Amino acid sequence: MVLAALFLLNACTGSGVSDDAPSKAILESGRVLYAASCQSCHGDQQGIGRLALAPYHGPDGHTWHHADGQLLEIILDGTKVLLESLGLPPSDLEMPHFRGELAREETLAVLSYIKTWWTQEQREAQAENSRRWQEANAP
C-alpha cells in the first residue's frame, strides 16, 4: 500500500505532466493554441490540411508512441537538435521550436488536447511509457 502510494506520487512528479484528467479550461486553451500554432502543418484532429512531411498526431499516427518528456522536448526545441543527435540529415520541412513562444503550461495544454484524440488503450500505454522515460531520465 505504501509502495503503491509512493509509486503514484513518483509518477506524478518530475515531467510536470500530471496523470489527472485535465480540466475543460486546459483542453480548450490547448485546442485554441493547437489551431493557431500547429494545425497549419499537422492538420486537424483527422489530419485534414496536414503537410506531407508533418506527422499526424491522431490515433493512427506515431506521436502516441513517444513519452511526454520526449514530446515536450520536440515541441519546445523542435526536431533539428534531435535529428542532429541521431546523425540524421535535416528535413526539408522542419518542426519549428516553440521555446520562448509557448509557456510550459501552454505546451502541456496542447499535449493534453492532442491526447484526447487517442484511444483509451493508447493513452494508458503512453502514460506507462512516459513513467518509464521519466524514471530513466530523472536527474
Sites of contact with ligand HEC (CB under 6 A):
37-38, 40-42, 53-55, 61-63, 66, 71, 74-75, 79, 83, 91, 93, 95-96, 98, 110
Residue 115: left (phi > 0), alpha (psi -120 to 50), or beta? alpha
Task: Provide, rounded to whole angstroms, the least separation between the CB of residue 14 and ligand HEC.
Answer: 19
What distance in Å separates the CA atoms of residue 70 and residue 74, rounded to the nearest whole number?
6
CA distance 128 to 134: 10
Residue corresponding to grid cell 484528467: 21
Choose between 11 and 111: whose C-beta lies nearer to ligand HEC.
111
State how far the Cα of 119 lies from the Cα of 13, in Å rounded to an integer: 24
Least spacing, CB of residue 94 vs ligand HEC, in Å: 6
Cell 524514471: give the residue. 135
Q: Write down the least CB distance from residue 35 to ligand HEC, Å.
A: 10
Q: Which is nearer to ligand HEC, 5 or 67 (CB)?
A: 67
**Least CB distance to ligand HEC at residue 107 (A):** 7
